[in-house]
Structure 1
Amino acid sequence: MVPIPLNIKNIKAVVFDLDNTLVSSKINFQGLREQLNCPVHQDILTHADSFVEAADRESAHKLILDHELSDAENAVSLSGCHTLLTYLEDNHFHTGIVTRNCAEASKCKVDHCNITVEEVISREQYAPKPSPEALTALADLWQLQPHQVLYVGDYLYDLEAANNANMPSCLITHGEVKPFENLASLSVNQLDDLLSYIQRYG
């Protein structure tokens, strides 16, 4: 996978992942995988959908939901979140969130952290990342071309979703070495750094 080139002067919209991008998340995914008997390299949502019996699928999804809602109650906005969103709003960028979270947990986190964006898309509305469906829907809504939309996230699925939508991506690393960093159009430590980049090159 080769990242889509980023020309910040072309960007008219910035879309964000939610967990560990705009807000904190403390979900213990290793523990959740163990509870679901989910193999390390399999997607948790896909694994939950794979149970043959409807009752088992329902139980698996309820367990995931319980973890998400518990996590949502303790979420806090990350450094630079509000400053960046205010700048984007003041400068007439479209803004949105595309998350693999459920709608209930997403709304809880956004409300609790006082985050304001134009659109919030959860996994109930479109196929979850790395599917490009939600990102493409936002570009269509705003009547933008893919190269005019920047998707910002902290994980491989975010970069894959952007690439699948033919959109440039920005990886938030939080100062950690990420094995998939080379797949991002741009990598920064935190949201403050993304704001500086936009202000410098936009």
Structure 2
Amino acid sequence: MPLNLSRAISLFHPKPISRISMANISSLTTSHPTTSPPRKRLRGVVFDMDGTLTVPVIDFAAMYKTVLGEEEYRRIKAESPSGIDILKLIENWSPEKQRKAYETIADYERQGLDRLQIMPGAAELCGFLDSKKIRRGLITRNVKDAVDLFHQRFGMTFSPALSREFHPYKPDPAPLLHICSTWQVKPDEVIMIGDSLKDDVACGKRAGAFTCLLDESGRYDSPEYANVDHKPDVKVSSLTEFYSLLERHFDLEP
């Protein structure tokens, strides 16, 4: 459906950011307290899909337990504080065991498609980015069918939109670097935003992009995530806060 850009901009009137963690924001500020921070050029925003553009509906913990078994799930989770990479774990399994694992994953994903909902504020945010001529890309570990359904159901198109059929998939930086190459922009002119430390933030940091973690519930404030390998540049609790971040720290002129 067409986006009402004036409505989008009015809905996202800048307001104070309540929960942004400025982990590495020093590059965006100056030492002089009375000088406005320099604004970095922003050429594109690359989104995760599940849990970022869409409301999280897949029970990943239940899926992992079904694939791995309860005991193995608990062991791996204890060793991987930033999250479990189920696709990588099953890469070296026997063909038959792999087949069953992929069938389980596909079943959970199909159930998620039936309940697919757009994240509040996503349509308005994308309309705002379009008004500023800022490119929009998408990287997901979900399948292409899910991306196609998202595009069709909500009337928004992201390009490039890379699913897990693109190899190597995130957290490898290759998908994001591919998008930057396609756009002919530098990675540090791009923001990667997603709800996963192990996939989205790791992909963005490895590529050299600015990273934003969407943490609606505050679960990443838990001590278990204090020593992860890749930390986001900033953290927000909603897409509305992400809009405010863009307004404050980036050059959004077309």
Same fold (TM over 0.5): yes
Cα distance between partner residues in 2 of 1:114 and 1:190 = 21
In the TM superposition, what whole-angstrom CA distance separates every residue of 1:110-136 from its partner, at most 9, and x where no partner exists? 322333222210011121211000000
Question: Highest CA radius of gyration, 1 or 2?
Answer: 2
Segments of structure 2 that go 5 or more residues without pairing to the other structure are 1-22, 29-37
Name the aligned partner's letter for residue 58 of structure 2. I
Equivalent in the alignment of 1:80: 121
Over aligned residues, Cα RMSD in angstroms? Answer: 2.1
From 10, 18, 34, give the equivalent of 2:41: 10
2:166 aligned counterpart, secondary structure = coil
Shift of 1:66: 1.6
From 64, 71, 77, give the equivalent of 1:33: 64
Equivalent in the alignment of 1:22: 53
Give every structure 1 segment of 4 or more consecutive aligned residues whose post-TM-superposition deviation is greater than 3 Å.
2-8, 179-182
Aligned pairs, number: 200
Equivalent in the alignment of 2:232: 184
Equivalent in the alignment of 2:245: 197
Shift of 1:35: 1.4
2:40 aligned counterpart, secondary structure = helix
Equivalent in the alignment of 2:158: 117
Equivalent in the alignment of 1:134: 175
Structure 1-normalised TM-score?
0.90
In the TM superposition, what whole-angstrom CA distance separates every residue of 1:164-201 from its partner, at most 9, and x where no partner exists? 10111011111414145881112111111111222233
Equivalent in the alignment of 1:97: 138
- 5 Å matches for 1:150-189? 150-156=191-197, 157-179=199-221, 180=225, 183-189=231-237
Shift of 1:86: 0.5
